[in-house]
Amino acid sequence: METSGKPRTMPPDGPPDGPPDWPPLVLCAQIPPGAETVTGNFSLRHAGQTIPIEVTVPAGPATHAQLLPILHGLCNASIARASAKSHGEGRAISCAAGCGACCRQAVPVTPTEARGLAALVAAMPDDRRAAVTARFAGAKAALAQAGIDRSPEMLDMTDMDARVRLANAYFGVGVACPFLENENCSIHPDRPLACREYLVTSAPALCAARTRDVDMVPLDIGVLNRLIETESAREATGRLLLVDALDWATANPAPPATVAGPALLMELVASLFNRPKD
């Protein structure tokens, strides 16, 4: 973890009721160069488990995008625990480099993730950015030609049947994610939460066929659906798909940061989990 500026400490919240169920996690937000930081500790109670966390965030006003690496870190730790448990039960994880079997699905992203992906693409070298944006354009053209309706009504947060119909139709077009290169995720460290939370032990062919027999590994911490709900309400938008992320982010630039990093983090934690102990 790299931070800059003068560290300060948020008051600890006291010891948890019993021994923690997780080893301590050390997580860090995205820190702008030269920014002052705050490092603090809190315990998360989630799904009956206690997770001790040390976290570093900007001391001054921060954006939701700057907190995204913290959720990625939580998710990564959850994946590592689920993978070890599954392996211990004799069910090896089949997700591996070179397997893009699941990367032709309609991938949901949150508004913050959409802006993060747009920033990632904008920061790419010219030739790479041109290739990726061309693949976005190709994917959208293929979906349009197939008559895949991604209008707000079809992406209604509450209509599960409509979402399933759209997901099936989208998958039927067979359009690859614009970030898929040689069946590898070209943005693996920055991939969306939906991709992180998709962890399977079944054969890749089942993912490629999108059958109901795919054996998903449950994660102790899965934040995507709750994050989609809270962010969509905050941004007054419907469900977003990765293929539309760049367009949405261009049309909806992030509002200026007004809330300090520690307060914004506690807001986010409270919206996603049981309240942190205080």
Angle between helices 111-122 and 224-235 (to 10 degrees): 90
Instruction: Give whichever of 82 and 107 is closer to ligand SF4, judged by the CB atom.
Output: 107
Task: State in angstroms the smallest separation of the CB of 104 from ligand SF4.
Answer: 8
User: Which is nearest to 68 in space by CA: 246, 248, 264, 274?
Assistant: 264
Alpha carbons 82 and 97: distance in angstroms, whole number: 18
Instruction: Give whichever of 118 and 269 is closer to ligand SF4, judged by the CB atom.
Output: 118
Alpha carbons 278 and 275: distance in angstroms, whole number: 8
> Of 195, 221, 246, 249, which one interacts with ligand SF4 (CB under 6 A)?
195
> Of 103, 121, 139, 227, which one interacts with ligand SF4 (CB under 6 A)?
103
Residue 208 in contact with ligand SF4, rule: CB under 6 A: no
Interface segment toward ligand SF4; rule CB under 6 A; list 76-84, 119-127, 185-193, 265-273: 185-193
Residue 107 in contact with ligand SF4, rule: CB under 6 A: yes
Instruction: Give whichever of 46 and 104 is closer to ligand SF4, judged by the CB atom.
Output: 104
Residue 239 Cα distances to 225, 229, 243, angstroms: 10, 9, 12
Residue 179 in contact with ligand SF4, rule: CB under 6 A: yes
Are 25 and 53 in contact by the 8 Å Cβ rule? The answer is yes
Q: In which element (H, E) is residue 57 found?
A: strand 49-58
Residue 239 in contact with ligand SF4, rule: CB under 6 A: no
Task: State in angstroms the smallest separation of the CB of 272 from ligand SF4.
Answer: 21
Instruction: Give whichever of 70 and 107 is closer to ligand SF4, judged by the CB atom.
Output: 107
90: tokens are 């004799």
Burial of 90 (0-12, 13-18, 19+ CB in 10 A): exposed
Enumerate binding residues for ligand SF4 (CB under 6 A): 100, 103, 107, 177, 179-180, 185, 187, 191-192, 195
